Amino acid sequence: MNETACMPTGPRPHGATPDDGYGALLRDAHAAGPRRGTHLQIIERDDGFVSIEDAYRYFTRPDEWLPVERQAVALATGRVLDIGCAAGRHMLALTGDHETVGLDPSPGAVAVAREQGLDVRIGTVTEPGDVGTFDTLLMLGGNLGLLGSREHAPDVLDSLTRLARPDARLLAIGHDPHTAAPEHRAYHQRNRECGRMPGQVRMRVRYKTWTSEWFDRLLLSPDELRHLLTGSAWTLQTATRSPGTGFYLAELTCNP
């Protein structure tokens, strides 16, 4: 397969506004009072496959979550960092004596979370800022995908190690991409031919007139995750699947 075939098939965004469109989506949904079907964004994969995401998912209550997400929140102990926290739905569910800090790169998402009384900072998994170290690291809502790619994952894992206290745990929701759906199987094969992991998804999102840049999310099975962790400080202890969804809770421990 030639090099051109491994590039995104659509044009790179032109005239994409530099403002925070994802944050605007959350701000609009929060201001209106979150309801299903009122604030939507388009997710576009680089082969042209599109789907719709409802902003309501960022404001759901624990009784609306997958059981594995409720399990992750229940397992959190000590000082907790929620990476990619968005509007803060998981932080709101953490009770007890937890000191909880959230990170998100979107100023709009951070503003919505702060309006709900949460300690949320602007940052990313690889550039978290001066937040200290933690007993529990959360990457929920599918945020294990922030590993990005085979090449980017070591940087993410190294950053997580620096954020971890001795005996820290990482609780992350991953998504196993392997499916019988032909449109996804063809995409996975294209990735293999380009030297990527099958579930490396190159995507961008749209809201109103805003279009993001292309970015990668990594969908991978527990076995692929275990292999990817080789040589890092992290060990996959358990992977609890959510039947019929492809999602699973990965519980990892850190041994630097």
Residue 156, pLDDT > 60, answer yes
Query: Quick one: pLDDT at residue 95?
Result: 74
**How do strand 247-254 and strand 164-175 relate by DSSP bridges?**
antiparallel
* Alpha-carbon separation of residue 252 from 47, 118, 144 (angstroms): 33, 26, 11
Strand boundaries in 176-207, DSSP class E? 200-207
13-33 average pLDDT score? 78
pLDDT at 40 over 60: yes
Predicted confidence (pLDDT) per residue in 198-239, tens digit: 999 999 999 999 999 999 999 999 999 999 999 999 999 999
Residue 89 predicted with pLDDT over 50: yes
At 126-137, the pLDDT tens digits run 999 999 999 999
pLDDT given for residue 6 in this prediction: 55
Report the candidate in 65, 78, 128, 127 with the shortest Cα–Cα distance to residue 102.
128
Domain boundaries, the chain: 62-200+215-254
Whether the CA torsion 114, 159, 137, 68 is positive or negative: it is positive
Whether residue 4 has pLDDT greater than 80: no
What is the band of 244 on the pLDDT scale with cuts at 50, 70, 90? very high
CA gap 5, 14 in Å, rounded: 21
- Per-residue pLDDT tens digits for 92-107: 999 777 899 999 999 9
Q: Is the dihedral of CA 104, 110, 113, 116 positive or negative?
A: positive
Residues constituting the chain: 256
- The whole-angstrom separation of Cα 223 and Cα 61 is 31
State residue 102's pLDDT score: 98
> 107-115 vs 21-32: helix axis angle to the nearest 10?
30
For residues 75 and 130, the answer to whether their CB atoms sit within 8 Å is no
Residues 6 or more apart whose CB falls under 8 angstroms from that of 92 comprise: 116, 118
pTM value > 0.75: yes
| Residue 37 predicted with pLDDT over 80 | yes
CATH class of 62-200+215-254: alpha beta
Over the stretch 158-173, which tens digit does the pLDDT of each residue have?
Answer: 999 999 999 999 999 9
**CB count in 10 Å sphere of residue 12:** 11
pLDDT band at 3 (very low <50, low <70, confident <90, very high): very low
One DSSP character per residue, 95-148 reads -SS--EEEEES-HHHHHHHHHTT--EEE--SS---S---EEEEEE-TTGGGGG-
Q: Please report, to the nearest 10 degrees, the dihedral formed by the alpha carbons of residues 134, 139, 140, 146 taken in order.
A: 170
d(CA 211, CA 219): 22
**Cα–Cα distance for residue pair 227/234, rounded to 1 Å:** 11
The overall average pLDDT reported for the chain is 93
pLDDT for 96: 76
| pLDDT at site 9 | 45
pLDDT of residue 25: 97
